[in-house]
Amino acid sequence: MEIKTYRSLEFLLNHAKTGHVTSDVNTETIERRSFSPKKIKIFSSRYTNLENLPEHKFTSDKEAQKLLPGIINNFVQRLVPGDGKSRSAQRAFSMQRNIGVVFSGGPAPGGHNVIAGLYDELKKYNPESKMFGFLLGPEGLLKSKYVEITKSLVDAYRNMGGFSMIRTGRTKIDSKNKMELSLKTCMELELDALVVIGGDDSNTNAAFLAQHFKSTGIKVIGVPKTIDGDIQVKTDNKETLCAISFGYHTAARAFSQSISNLTTDASSNVKYWHICKVMGRVASHLALECAFQTHANLSLIGEELADYTDHQRIERARENGTIDYTAYGMTLRHLSRLICDTIVKRASKGKNFGVIIIPEGILEFVNEIQVFIIKLSKIISEYNHIHDNDFHTSFPVLNNKLEYLKRLARGLGDKDKFPIWNLRDDDLFNQLPSFFQEGLLLERDTHGNFQFSQVKTEKIIMDMVKEYLGILKEQGKYKIGIKRSDYNSIMENTGFIPGKLAKTIFKNPDDKYLIIKESIISLKTLKQALINSNLISPDDKVPEPIALIFKKSDPEFKTQTHFYGYDGRGSDPTHFDCNYTYNLGMTVFHLIANGATGQMAAIKNLEKKFDKWEPIGIPIAKLMRLEERKGKLTLVIEKSLVDLNSNAFRIFKALRNEWLAAESKKDRYRRPGPVRFTGNTEEDRPITLTLNSI
Ligand code: FBP
């Protein structure tokens, strides 16, 4: 008998192989950390200058002119090679300086490379210069909590995802007191400049800080971060200065890899519809990119829904001599009908499976929900203001909140203050499932944004879809098409003449995919049809092969839901984002060294090949508009939504029917593959960017 001897645990734990494969740092991480992003040519110049570009015009907002007088007249600026021998340039670039950096808002892949690019450039000109990272976002700035950023810290995070080096937070610097606290911290650290790496709201903060710090000489520079891709800057004459914020490409690629795996699962297992909600608080840029990356069967784009017009309703109203205003814009019910339509169409071609992409912020574009969001935001913020007490503390559970709203609708309680909530609102609101009511009543984030990521959008929509599919099934309209060859092989050796039987049970007996007649919705109705056509007598049972065909045609709608968001935010950056962010970091240094403040660092021509990339500064104040936040008009950077006239959207519209594949042809799924940072990936950039640059 063979006697098995076991190695001692001590031996195993001390073995080199064990150490290698269980180490926290694997080969991929080592390779990532040592990868050197490419540098834009201008950065090989000894010094740079800033050239104003007055030809790039923006219509600035009156309120921005009033509140940001010190930075509103900034120009778009481009980095140009400076005089390598200039004494003043040497002084400006090589002076010892302290720079503070803060991440703000949700993480986005590439943030660490912004720090790395800035750090390398800062130290290149003066190794005595210092960089500080504020901890946990703007909170660290307010509370003076920071770390000195050292080479070993930077090296540990080069080309790595997330914001874990110094972490992030959503604190808003929105009061005089917070401005003063921020200034105090910067003064104590003797900062020459503060760099705010954040989204639209955080760059808004950066502009106000730049204004507040102006007289002290401390510069403030913003960096366009957000996976949502909604910081895009175009001039008045539509020239693109910043095609996309960093992190967008990586997040879209990370989501797309998972979604694409689901397309493979769906078409292998042929029994599920995979419902994929993808992040993007309001804009559907991520959903659009994922659609191009994966060719999922149905991708919804919120911005398109807002633009929806129901022409049938308009026509009907016109015939009656009226105008139907409800025909403009999308309702939840109508949206669920559109989704059902595609499911039914694919089923009729034998495909009772598929993949749907739903943007996280879709409800923002659905009429009745948008109205609720606006009205409830106003009620909650005004309540807090009037009662000097938090709405959610006063009404801790859903029932309390509903009771308060009911009283408002009936003209009781704070009714005079909130005439916006009427009986109709209350009725409609009470028809929503309670998990959704809770979602709509959720606390807004610090910037007053509705927190879509906390709402089970996909559940709301898919519950309605399931309900309506049930009705369509009862009406005999939701059926799986049977492939003619399958039908013929089942009918072989049964004694039935396939042609005659086909005419009895199918509504399209001559087509490639056969669909059972709408009147046949059960074995009972099937039997009746066979009796009526004298194919069987009342005493006979439905023959087994025919029952089998009926069963095959009877769909079960099974879904699996997925949410892609946080995973993509934490993904390690793509080659595109590694290069983009490292160069953004270097741009920040050159803006600071050239004395800029109130500018957002950006790279022009991102949509083109790397050698066309151009570092610039964009005046943040000129991008600001008044927007409703927490029930009040507030000056913020305008979010870019999906432009329905853009090349990318028009091409998507033209191709989506093929991707839906509601025909007998094969599905057109695309495999984007995993996120990579090396190899010949020069062409790997957002597809939407490439299309928009045509
Ligand atoms: P930023 O705008 O701060 O970049 O964050 C974007 C985002 O990832 C959205 O897509 C999402 O709705 C939200 O953050 C989620 O925020 P949280 O981390 O607070 O749940």
3-class DSSP string for 257-311: HHHHHHHHHHHHHCCCEEEEEECCCCCCHHHHHHHHHHCCCEECCHHHHHCCECH
| 554 given a catalytic annotation | no
For residue 106, the CA-to-ligand 1 centroid distance in Å is 5
Exactly one of 174, 192, 228, 667 is catalytic; name it.
228
Average pLDDT, the chain: 92
Structure tokens at 405: 């709203």
| pLDDT digits 0-9 by tens, 55-74 | 999 998 999 999 999 999 99
Q: How far apart are CA 335 and CA 156, in angstroms?
A: 47
For residue 199, the CA-to-ligand 1 centroid distance in Å is 9
pLDDT of residue 589: 98
Question: Could you tell me which residue, 534 or 76, shows the higher pLDDT?
Answer: 76
User: 227 and 171 share a domain?
Assistant: yes
Q: Does residue 564 sit within a domain?
A: no
pLDDT-derived band at 378 (thresholds 50, 70, 90) equals confident
**Contact of 395 with 438, CB cutoff 8 Å:** no
User: 271 and 218 share a domain?
Assistant: no
Protein residue closest via CA to atom 8 of ligand 1? 106
**For the CA of 569, the nearest atom of ligand 1:** 8
Q: Does residue 14 sit within a domain?
A: no
Protein residue closest via CA to atom 12 of ligand 1? 281
Number of domains in the chain: 3
User: 92 and 170 share a domain?
Assistant: yes
User: 255 and 239 share a domain?
Assistant: no
For residue 590, pLDDT over 60 is answered with yes
User: Using a 6 Å CB cutoff, which residues line ligand 1?
Assistant: 105-106, 108, 199, 226-228, 279-281, 360, 452-453, 565, 569
| pLDDT digits 0-9 by tens, 77-94 | 999 999 989 999 999 999
User: 319 and 463 share a domain?
Assistant: yes
Closest CA to 182 of 217, 147, 145: 145
Lowest mean pLDDT among 240-249, 255-264, 355-364, 485-494: 485-494
pLDDT of residue 417: 67
For residue 3, pLDDT over 80 is answered with no
Q: What is the CATH number of the domain that holds 346?
A: 3.40.50.460
Q: Does residue 8 sit within a domain?
A: no
Going from the C-alpha of 442 to that of each of 99, 404, 611, the distances in angstroms are 37, 15, 47
Q: How far apart are CA 121 and CA 154, in angstroms?
A: 13
Domain of residue 590 covers 58-246+573-629
pLDDT of residue 681: 58
Q: Does residue 447 sit within a domain?
A: yes
Closest CA to 603 of 105, 99, 240, 120: 240
Instruction: Name the CA radius of gyration of the chain, rounded.
Output: 30
| pLDDT digits 0-9 by tens, 530-579 | 999 999 999 999 999 999 999 999 999 999 999 999 999 999 999 999 99
User: 540 and 587 share a domain?
Assistant: no
Protein residue closest via CA to atom 14 of ligand 1? 106
Q: Does residue 146 sit within a domain?
A: yes
For residue 682, pLDDT over 70 is answered with no
pLDDT of residue 431: 86
* Residue finishing a domain among 518, 553, 588: 553
User: 490 and 456 share a domain?
Assistant: no
For residue 105, the CA-to-ligand 1 centroid distance in Å is 7
Q: Does residue 616 sit within a domain?
A: yes
Residues 6+ apart with CB under 8 A from 157: 33, 112, 115, 116, 164, 165
* Residue finishing a domain among 553, 587, 615: 553
**For the CA of 104, the nearest atom of ligand 1:** 3
Q: Give the DSSP letter string of 129-177.
A: -EEEEETTTHHHHHTT-EEE--HHHHHHHTT--SSTTT--------SHH
* Residue finishing a domain among 493, 524, 553: 553
User: 240 and 157 share a domain?
Assistant: yes
Q: What is the CATH number of the domain that holds 134?
A: 3.40.50.450
User: 266 and 216 share a domain?
Assistant: no
Mutual angle of helices 423-430 and 434-441, in 10-degree steps: 130
pLDDT of residue 416: 63
pLDDT-derived band at 631 (thresholds 50, 70, 90) equals low
Percent of the chain with pLDDT over 70: 98
User: 418 and 523 share a domain?
Assistant: no
For residue 84, the CA-to-ligand 1 centroid distance in Å is 43
User: 163 and 285 share a domain?
Assistant: no
User: 211 and 349 share a domain?
Assistant: no
**Contact of 600 with 230, CB cutoff 8 Å:** no
Protein residue closest via CA to atom 16 of ligand 1? 106
For residue 689, pLDDT over 90 is answered with yes
Q: Does residue 17 sit within a domain?
A: no
Q: Does residue 24 sit within a domain?
A: no
**DSSP letter (8 states) at residue 215:** G
| pLDDT digits 0-9 by tens, 260-314 | 999 999 999 889 999 999 999 999 999 999 999 999 999 999 999 987 888 888 8
For residue 451, the CA-to-ligand 1 centroid distance in Å is 8
